[in-house]
Amino acid sequence: MMERAKKIAVGVAGLVTAVPSLVWAGGEKASQLVVVADTRVINNAFVKYIADLYNTNTLLFAVWAVVLTALYGAFLGFFMDFLMARTGLDLKSRKIIEH
């Protein structure tokens, strides 16, 4: 039992170590770069907040990035839907013809 647990722990540790490199499988060695946003030249309060987060709290920055992208995507989806509904086109049905 202990042996098995040890094997699983080694596997999990290996995976955790490997995961950051997995994402870069197809990319260059850009992960070695350290980029800091220069917040001194930013005037907009919200942009400054995001840039500050980028420098100080990566996890919260990542959460905001996903949430804002999803929210903006959903907003654009509904807004475009509203506009498209006014074109008079039938946007709820279509015929599937392959050839």
Partner 1 sequence: MDWLYLYMPIAGMDILWPGLLLIGFSVGVIGGFFGMGGAWMVTPGLNILGFPMAFAIGTDIAHIAGKSMVSTMRHSKFGNVDYKLGFVMIIGTMVGIECGAQLIMYLERLGVVGGVVRWVYVVFLALIATMVFYDFYKAEQKKRAGIVEGEKGTEGITWYKTLHKIRIPPMVHFKAAGFTCSAWLPIMVSFATGALAGFLGIGGGLLRMPALVYLIGCPTHIAVGTDLFEVMISGLYGAFTYSMKGRIELVAVFVMLTGAAIGAQIGTVATKYAKGYGIRILFGCAVLACMVSIILKQYGFNNSAAVVVLGAISIISLYICVIMFRGAANELREKKAREAASRSY
Binding site for partner 1 (CB under 8 A): 18, 20-28, 30-31, 33, 35, 37-39, 41-42, 47-48, 50-51, 54, 58-59, 61-63, 65-66, 68-70, 72-74, 76-81, 84, 87-94, 96-99
Residue whose CB is less far from partner 1, 3 or 28: 28
Residue 39: which of 56, 19, 22 has the closest Cα? 56
Residue whose CB is less far from partner 1, 1 or 93: 93
Q: How many residues does the chain have?
A: 99
CB 47 within 8 A of CB 64: no
Rounded to a whole number of angstroms, the minimum distance from the CB of residue 4 to partner 1 is 21
Rounded to a whole number of angstroms, the minimum distance from the CB of residue 41 to partner 1 is 8
Contacts of residue 85, defined as CB under 8 A and 6 or more positions apart, other chains included, come to 91
Query: In what helix (H) or strand (E) does residue 64 lie, and over which residues does it extend?
Result: helix 58-85
Residue whose CB is less far from partner 1, 8 or 74: 74
Residue whose CB is less far from partner 1, 1 or 19: 19
Residue 14: which of 4, 22, 3, 23 has the closest Cα? 22
